[in-house]
Amino acid sequence: MMQPLYLTSLHHASRGGILQNMLGRMYDGQNCSAARTLELVGERWSLLIIRDALFRGTTRFAEFKRDLGLASNILATRLDRFVAAGLMESHVYSEHQTLHEYRLTEKGRDLQPVILALTAWGDRWAAPHGAPVEFEHAGCGGKLEQRLYCTACDQVQPPAAINARPSPGQHGASCAHITRRICRDGEPIPSPTEVHLHGARAASGRGNYRRR
């Protein structure tokens, strides 16, 4: 059966060999929410699995394997970790062969803005022939965008206008290199390379992939 056109844009992100020497995936010395997130979804293939679950509705092991061209052992490891981390839930859909579906939880679906942001960056800086796919609002067909805004003044902010600062969740010395740079005599120092997402607002609605 022929696949819909929008699915053909997302096939086999890589045909390369399996990385033999895997780097450690834990960031024990970092008291940082970005580092904690990378521990869950920062490994090779992880975000592509989440992408397909979000925007293709992929749930079955064989579908992930076919569409991504991913080795079974790597896929099984990623899915098991997603279930253990609460990003997915495993459900039996065939008692005959004990086959499972892997469905995103609310925690997993909350990674949608991450996929949108990575895609927007890639469209600008890593797509020399133009964006291969686009996101649209399923309700009206409008293009989706993400913007940063300030919760105090409700203004859209460029990266250079965003500062990082210590928060109640910070402890120990692991974040000292950040707070030392951005705080001097109690005053923040703007730095476009050290960005804290104080507020993020993404267009609502389930995105659809559509071939350009």
Task: Of 39-43, 106-110, 115-119, 189-193, give the lowest mean pLDDT range.
Answer: 189-193
pLDDT (0 to 100) of residue 193: 34
Mean pLDDT over residues 39-62, rounded? 96
Structural domains for the chain: 5-12+25-109 (1.10.10.10)
Mean pLDDT over residues 159-170, rounded? 84
Task: Inform me whether the pLDDT recorded for 159 exceeds 60.
Answer: yes
DSSP string covering 60-127 = BHHHHHHHHT--HHHHHHHHHHHHHHTSEEEEEEETTTTEEEEEE-HHHHTTHHHHHHHHHHHHHHS-
Task: Inform me whether the pLDDT recorded for 44 exceeds 60.
Answer: yes
pLDDT (0 to 100) of residue 95: 73
Task: Inform me whether the pLDDT recorded for 199 exceeds 80.
Answer: no
pLDDT (0 to 100) of residue 177: 54
pLDDT (0 to 100) of residue 172: 56
pLDDT (0 to 100) of residue 28: 84
Share of the chain above pLDDT 70, in %: 69
Global pTM reads: 0.70
pLDDT (0 to 100) of residue 171: 67
Mean pLDDT over residues 178-188, rounded? 45
Mean pLDDT over residues 45-67, rounded? 97
pLDDT (0 to 100) of residue 122: 97
Distances (CA, A) of 82 to 37, 85, 176: 12, 5, 31
pLDDT (0 to 100) of residue 27: 84
Q: What's the pLDDT tens digit per position in 79-105?
A: 999 999 999 999 998 877 778 999 999
Task: Inform me whether the pLDDT recorded for 76 exceeds 90.
Answer: yes
User: CA 25, CA 54: separation in Å to the nearest integer?
Assistant: 23
